[in-house]
Amino acid sequence: MITPISIFSLTLILLTTISCSQQSSYAHSNFLECLSKEFNNYSSISNNIYTPINSSYSYILQFTIQNPRFTSDPTSSPLVIITPQHKSQIPPLVRCARDTGLQIRTRSGGHDFEGLSYRALQQVPFVLIDLINLSEITIDVVRKTAWAGVGATIGLLYYTIAETSPVLGFPAGICPTNGLGGFISGGGYGRMMRKHGLAADNVIDARIIDASGRILNRKSMGEDLFWAIRGGGGASFGVITAWKVQLVDVPETVTVFRTGRTLEQNATQLVHCWQYIAPNLDKDLFIAVMLSRTNSSPKTTINATFHSLFLGGIERLLSIMKKSFPELGLVREDCAEVSWIQAMVFEAGFPIETPPQVLLNRTVPNTRRPFEGKSNFVQEAVPEYGLEGLWRLFYEDEAEEAIILMSPFGGRMAEISDSATPFPHRAGNLYIMLQATFWEEGENRESEKYVEWSRRVDKYLTPFVSRNPRAAYVNYRDLDIGVNNFHGETSYEQASVWGKRYFKNNFDRLVWVKTMVDPKNFFKNEQSIPPIGENLNTSTYYTN
């Protein structure tokens, strides 16, 4: 049962259960006193405040966490969790945290690879604003637009669009439980990116609450901040509460297929060939490859599974495949013609006949396991000998449940300028590579061996992936990149180690925007954009 907690009890809890300095405890008490003054009707927010001794605290904290490896350390957990019901409740939270010296972390879906949306590496007292309740979606069919609260999931957005129109869609990801807040603010790629670009490329307005507690839209925030939050990581700049997105046209019938090939079925040659073909196919055709180990009779082998979404009918798809990728040997029986929404169900990993209501589930049973994830961008095809070396790593014990997902770029992705949004990985990239290593939750004490395997793979890939800088995707956050002894403040030089990998030449502009909108660095985490003073050449940019 979720129970409210009084201002007196909450103050007492904070003062008696948190092991920290007297000064910090005083700040906690002041935070709660501040809230009681900010809210005319305190009960309107007290029902949504949870602390470690509240019976619902653990449930609220863990409900959307997708990587359980970070749930065992109470010292990194939030001092208070608040789940606002409306954006108007957030400015007081920001002002009170700022004025009493508490940090803020924001969470929308719980998919943060390193858990930084709900934990802190150092014992820094912070407030978690969980935006799960900000999930309202409104569709304007005539203008082909939607306003979506950041607490809404990709699955909810897909379902709501399809309920409104069978010929509208949105270019987002394949994981239906992913929250829109973090997904879009990091760029957000998916099966339709070769046709329509990233999710962030299709954002036309937003609402954000800044460090002063002001609620801003695109006009009032200005074009520089609007640029920064569409791919630069929104948590560095404020609390984003809603996105307005441009919907895209989709055919009434699309075609999907999923077909696997083992090493004995020429998987090495097919994957090598795919690298040249997939980024140059018709924009309507997206073919990704997932690499994994198959532990079955007669022997263990490597499997390459080709996943596809084609924005058209089966006849045209087969014609394109026969001309462009005949080596795969695709046949009609491998394919299925379905509606766009049913294709999203299939791409999410469910049987193709599953009702689309499954997309409304915020959690999927038996899918949340500890994992380590890393990303790379590939600009030159990995040679066959490079793939064969990768197979050898996949035969190691720690790789039993490891995957590598390779998603092709090209098409619209190559047409958009590197500086149009903070996401710079455009023309010149063949594909993005996601490496994920899973293990069972009971093995968490042995997690380091899986993490080390992931690092070995990442090191092995060094000659085959982008360089100068070696690029990575901010939505696959990786604390192995440039995070050492974080103590709440990060210098420009420290941050540039990971910042250049995530954002390349756009990093300096993000730093400049941060300096303009949050010079005191209120919104920060272990890999947030830092502000900088006179050392940054601000003449490069200008405000609109």
Beta strands 49-50 and 80-82: pairing type?
Answer: antiparallel
CA-CA distances (angstroms) from residue 406 to 278, 279, 304, 376, 385?
10, 11, 10, 10, 18
Catalytic residue among 50, 158, 476, 502: 476
Q: Which CATH topology does 137-249 take?
A: 3.30.465
Q: Among this protein's residues, is 42 annotated catalytic?
A: no
Give dist(CA 309, CA 318) in Å, integer. 13
Q: Which two tokens stand for residue 335?
A: 């394919």
CATH of region 7-130: 3.30.43.10
Ranges for all domains in the chain classified under CATH 3.30.465.10 = 137-249
Ranges for all domains in the chain classified under CATH 3.40.462.20 = 254-338+369-473
Q: Which two tokens stand for residue 115?
A: 């858990």
Burial 127-159 (b: 16+ CB within 10 A, else e): bbbbbbebbebebeeeebbbbbbbbbbbbbbbb
**Surface-to-core class of residue 189, CB atoms within 10 Å of its CB (0-12 exposed, 13-18 middle, 19+ buried):** buried
Q: What is the pLDDT along the chain (544 residues), one digit of tens a residue?
A: 444 445 444 444 444 444 444 545 555 678 778 888 888 777 788 889 898 888 999 999 999 999 988 887 766 889 899 999 999 999 999 999 998 889 999 999 999 999 999 998 877 889 999 999 999 999 999 999 999 999 999 999 999 999 999 999 999 999 999 999 999 999 999 999 999 999 999 999 999 999 999 999 999 999 999 999 999 999 999 999 999 999 999 999 999 999 999 999 999 999 999 999 999 999 999 999 999 999 876 789 999 999 999 999 999 999 999 999 999 999 999 999 999 999 999 999 999 999 999 999 998 766 788 999 999 999 999 999 999 999 999 999 999 999 999 999 999 999 999 999 999 999 999 999 999 999 987 766 778 999 999 999 999 999 999 999 999 999 999 999 987 655 556 788 889 999 999 999 999 999 999 999 999 999 999 999 999 864 444 334 333 3
Q: Is 222:207 a contact under the CB 8 Å cutoff?
A: no
pLDDT at 70: 86
Give dist(CA 235, CA 117) in Å, integer. 9
The amino acid present at 308, given as its one-letter code, is S
pLDDT at 28: 65
pLDDT at 484: 60
What is this structure's pTM? 0.92
3-state secondary structure of 176: coil
Positive or negative CA dihedral for 327, 333, 339, 343?
Answer: negative
Give dist(CA 250, CA 58) in Å, integer. 41
For the beta carbon of residue 36, count every other beta carbon within 10 angstroms.
Answer: 15
pLDDT at 444: 64
Ranges for all domains in the chain classified under CATH 3.30.43.10 = 7-130
Q: Which CATH topology does 254-338+369-473 take?
A: Vanillyl-alcohol Oxidase; Chain A, domain 3 (3.40.462)
pLDDT at 17: 42
